[in-house]
Amino acid sequence: MSLTTLPPAQPAPPLCWRRSFPGGPEQARNARRFVGCLLDGCPFLYDVLLAADELVVNALRHTKSGQDGGSFTVQVVRDGGLVAVSVTDQGGPGEPAALDAAELAESGRGLRTISLTAASWGWHGNGEGRTVTAVFAGEWDA
């Protein structure tokens, strides 16, 4: 009698989801729902949702994505214990930067918060369009 040896288990391939949204302010909630449904059971879901919300709001406020007829795209990638959330916008005049907001400022803390909660973050692109990504890492049994 011969025993058959099974090949070693292969790691699961990365999962990737992408969805485009119209550029209206009400779409931030829809983008959070999209991300939240995909990552049900993620132990650091609230940090990912905070980042997704901030990236979407920045796209709507600071780029052409928030203008009439604008749009943006949210992408979520899960690879083992890593989760990356990216927002691609239609470009604008400035560059994303994690700044220290004044103590009484009503805005300007979003990318700084992401820089403190994410394993890493960054962006690429130009005035015609850019993608900002936050990467989170942790143990995830799901």
Please write the tens of the pLDDT for every residue from 90-123.
Answer: 999 887 776 675 665 555 567 888 999 999 999 9
Q: Is residue 142 predicted with pLDDT exceeding 90?
A: no
> What is the Cα–Cα distance from 91 to 127, expressed in whole angstroms?
4
pTM of the prediction?
0.86
Return the sign of the alpha-carbon dihedral for residues 98, 99, 100, 101.
negative
In total, the chain counts a number of residues equal to 142
